[in-house]
Structure 1
């Protein structure tokens, strides 16, 4: 994040330089160790949710409050309306206001905007453009933070990397297995995209196991391979669950939608019906090198992962969730602190 605060948007963690990312992770650990308070007195953060949230909203609002700022939460279902993102459009459709105008107005009230944009859900080629969050960043005169778009979830990845760093002490030479898990309501691929690119950038060896038809975004994979080449990391994709877990220091369980079936719930349900065996259990965890379990949540118990591993001594799911608070405090202090 370079330039003055008005231009320091966080759409993905690629908006941070390598040194900035490392500094932010160190600041996250320090915020946790010192239970940091204050620093944002007189500042106001606006949170706009076009989709539901539990951890993101609560942890972000708590972070603002603990730093002495004031958080305003706006929900699309009750507090405002659909917004147009396309430049030059003739607004004769459902949206009564353009993001250009909403961003300009809110910039005059707020010091930072954190947004979870809506997804059109019609095609992956459309949703992957992240047109809405990028329009907010283009037109806002205050920092814009992405709270999960179709392509990226930088706040989750920041907490994930903090959790790995806190637990393992270093990234280089550590092995991360990302294992797809079965769920009747799979999440978007944004968490895994951000996790993969952040992990290889920091030097981790990453293996990804998923059923046929659940490939990640091709451009994101290309970006991750380029990062791995620069950092000396490694990526293996398409391994079995057992191969991915073998020797892993962290097993990250996550369900994500098939991009091939994006926007087609009938085909998506048919594909998922053939994946019921994709679960993380003790036998899989035991294949790792004293592997820790991570999951961004919410988790469907005994479907994505068993109670035994979720509640076991190597589970980090609650630390991972707690670290959303501390890493977001470090981010806010970096963006807005004096």
Structure 2
């Protein structure tokens, strides 16, 4: 068993080396089979939520408790006040406390801080910097874990990797079709950014389908191309649904915001109105190579994916969601063992 993970923070999957990812996934699989159990008695993770959560919050809390540790959950607005992140500012606004002070004090109470920040939503160029969680990481003396920022969702990526390996075995050369789906409230592209890079690190052939105007972050795509060139993976972007899914082993469905009109709800609604046919159904899935479906949830039934697919044998959604618990146990066991 690995001795532990020596990293300051877990903001994105690339904070872990290939060997460290293997250690997390191997331990997670053993924990899932019931043949390994790490004890984290006396360790406490503080969880700060600046926006809502269901699976992430519950799975992380259950993971810590089942490992013998504890969690403390705080929700912005109801449990604590606004915090200032800017350095050197005169604090004469609404925030009565600086992140520097809050992080330093919380570090003396806790073994780690898990944070789900709330992007402002006005400018993608601003939100993509993930300044909030980086401010916490800069000031914290204990590891900061990203529970989904604007740009990354590394906890979901770990669960996705375990699910992919359980389903396909060796991932090298396997085709992963990532398809945009219609939703009145599309999410940030954090999940998709994370799974694209995770899959390419494992040598997968990744095909991304989306309507015009829903391109992923340019900086992330540049990084994805560099990763694919070094691992033997392949990346195709801007495809139609049928082209992407043809021959795919896994179809990963998800709706994400148009970054071109990010922060402009009127233009975003107009663009969304033209995308109602971006629905995953059995006819689409049949184009794959005995394709299975993944989706990080929540999923809008019969708008993103039909009931027939979600409730049928192709769906991996419940296993994928369960694996959030196991991979978070694996990560916490190694991260907090040090």
> What is the correspondence of 1:122-141 to structure 2 with a 5 Å cutoff?
122-141=122-141
Partners of 2:180 and 2:261 lie apart in 1 by 16
- Describe the superposition over 1:152-194 as per-residue Cα deviations: whole angstroms up to 9, x where unpaired: 0000011011100111111101110000000001111000000
Instruction: State the shift of 1:77 in Å.
Output: 2.5
Match of 1:269 in 2: 269
Matched, 1:279 2:279: yes
Instruction: Check 1:38–1:333 CA distance in 2 against 1; reply closer, same or farther (3 A cut).
Output: closer
Instruction: State the shift of 1:266 in Å.
Output: 1.1
Instruction: Check 1:5–1:76 CA distance in 2 against 1; reply closer, same or farther (3 A cut).
Output: farther
Matched, 1:57 2:57: yes
Partners of 1:65 and 1:322 lie apart in 2 by 16
8 Å contact kept, 1:279–1:303: yes
Instruction: Check 1:136–1:313 CA distance in 2 against 1; reply closer, same or farther (3 A cut).
Output: same
Matched, 1:96 2:63: no
8 Å contact kept, 1:176–1:207: yes
Aligned-partner SS, 1:170? coil
* TM-score, scaled to structure 1: 0.97
Aligned-partner SS, 1:108? helix
Instruction: State the shift of 1:7 in Å.
Output: 5.1
8 Å contact kept, 2:38–2:333: no
8 Å contact kept, 2:60–2:325: yes
Partners of 1:201 and 1:295 lie apart in 2 by 20
Paired residues in the alignment total 335
Match of 2:79 in 1: 79
Partners of 2:236 and 2:110 lie apart in 1 by 43
8 Å contact kept, 2:176–2:250: yes
- Describe the superposition over 1:48-93 as per-residue Cα deviations: whole angstroms up to 9, x where unpaired: 0000000000000000000000111000021001111122222222
* Runs of 4+ that moved beyond 4 A: 4-7, 35-38
Instruction: State the shift of 1:263 in Å.
Output: 1.1
Aligned-partner SS, 2:109? coil
Partners of 2:110 and 2:222 lie apart in 1 by 37
- Cα RMSD of the aligned pairs, angstroms, is 1.3
8 Å contact kept, 1:258–1:268: yes
Aligned-partner SS, 1:332? helix
Match of 1:44 in 2: 44
Gaps of 5+ in 1: none
Partners of 2:5 and 2:245 lie apart in 1 by 42
8 Å contact kept, 2:183–2:303: yes
